[in-house]
């Protein structure tokens, strides 16, 4: 899933100040699962903004709504009437959702209520960690299912580096050295010889370094 974090209330208050009637719009998939943009968060944030507006005598009603995913035009269009009645939309979605809203509602102020973080997994309730960098060329078959692009601080393809100490990365004792983990796991799987093959220099074009990415599936297009 894409993980998100709600922005600090101070920042949100500032960006929504004097913007009139405001729609706080939730996104019920990744943002909800990150506890940053589901209906529960919408209610909390909308309430906080109302309290703030009351305090600072800022005018304008704060209304709440939510759609399944703000990254799908069909869902976004379903909220069109409500958006039309508002002066601004505070989107509790990832950057993709915010931008699709802006695209579908060209004359409306659209504001981000969240910071988009990473592609990751839930470790436990309330703890998420990064697992994928979306580099466009998966090598997990060669690295024992552990991604050095997403999880090595230097994104090394032929690690570990000299900064690996007792299984930890030199940047912090909290961070595991993924290369140590790769070696341990390959040893356990009896596949350590896989590391004898040296990775060539990585082509970052599929990762977006060749410009904004777009994916087209001719077989699915209608």
The structure tokens listed for 58 are 């800022």
Instruction: State yes or no: residue 47 binds another protein (CB under 8 A).
Output: yes
Chain centroid to Cα 139, Å, comes to: 22
Both tokens assigned to 80: 């069109």
Q: DSSP letter string over 141-208?
A: TTTTT--HHHHSTT--SS---TT-BTTEETTEEEEE-HHHHHHHHHHHTT-GGGGGSPPPPP--GGGT
**Which residue of 52, 95, 134, 136 would you call a contact of another protein, by CB under 8 A?**
52
- Cα 26 from Cα 37, distance rounded (Å): 5
**Footprint of another protein on 101-140 (CB under 8 A):** 122, 124-125
> Please, which contacts does 7-15 make with residues 24 or more away whose CB atoms are closer than 8 Å?
7/112, 7/113, 7/114, 7/115, 9/45, 9/48, 9/52, 12/45, 12/49, 12/90, 12/111, 12/113, 13/49, 13/52, 15/90, 15/111
Q: Per CB under 8 A, does 56 bind another protein? A: yes
15, 19, 33, 119: which one binds another protein (CB under 8 A): 33
Q: Does 19 bind another protein (CB under 8 A)?
A: no
As measured in angstroms, the least distance from the Cβ of 24 to another protein is 12
What is the nearest approach in angstroms of another protein to the Cβ of residue 98? 19
Stretch that binds another protein, among 44-52, 73-81, 174-182, 207-215 (CB under 8 A): 44-52
Q: What binding mask, one character per residue, do residues 159-188 give for another protein by CB under 8 A, x or -?
A: ------------------------------
Contact between 189 and another protein per CB under 8 A: no
Q: Is 58 in the site for another protein (CB under 8 A)?
A: no
Task: Using CB under 8 A, list all residues that contact another protein.
Answer: 8-10, 13, 28-29, 32-33, 35, 38-41, 43-44, 47-48, 50-52, 54-56, 66, 122, 124-125
């Amino acid at each position: 899933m894409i993980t998100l974090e709600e922005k600090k209330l101070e920042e949100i208050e500032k960006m929504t100040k004097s913007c009139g009637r405001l729609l706080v719009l939730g996104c019920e998939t990744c943002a909800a699962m990150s506890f940053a943009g589901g209906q529960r968060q919408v209610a909390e944030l909308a309430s906080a903004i109302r309290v703030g507006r009351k305090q600072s005598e800022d005018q304008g009603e704060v209304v709440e709504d939510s759609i399944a995913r703000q990254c799908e035009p069909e869902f976004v269009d379903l909220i069109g009437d409500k958006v039309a009645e508002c002066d601004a939309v505070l989107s509790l979605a990832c950057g993709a959702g915010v931008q699709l809203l802006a695209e579908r509602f060209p004359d409306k102020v659209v504001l981000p209520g969240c910071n988009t973080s990473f592609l990751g997994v839930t470790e436990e309730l309330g703890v998420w960690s990064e697992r994928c960098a979306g580099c466009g060329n998966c090598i997990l078959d060669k690295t024992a299912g552990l991604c050095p692009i997403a999880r090595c601080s230097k994104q090394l393809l032929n690690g570990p580096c000299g900064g690996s100490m007792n299984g930890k990365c030199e940047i912090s004792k909290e961070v595991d050295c993924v290369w140590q983990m790769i070696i341990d796991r390959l040893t356990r799987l009896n596949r350590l010889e896989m590391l004898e093959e040296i990775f060539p220099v990585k082509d970052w074009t599929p990762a977006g370094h060749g410009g904004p990415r777009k994916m087209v599936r001719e077989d699915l297009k209608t």
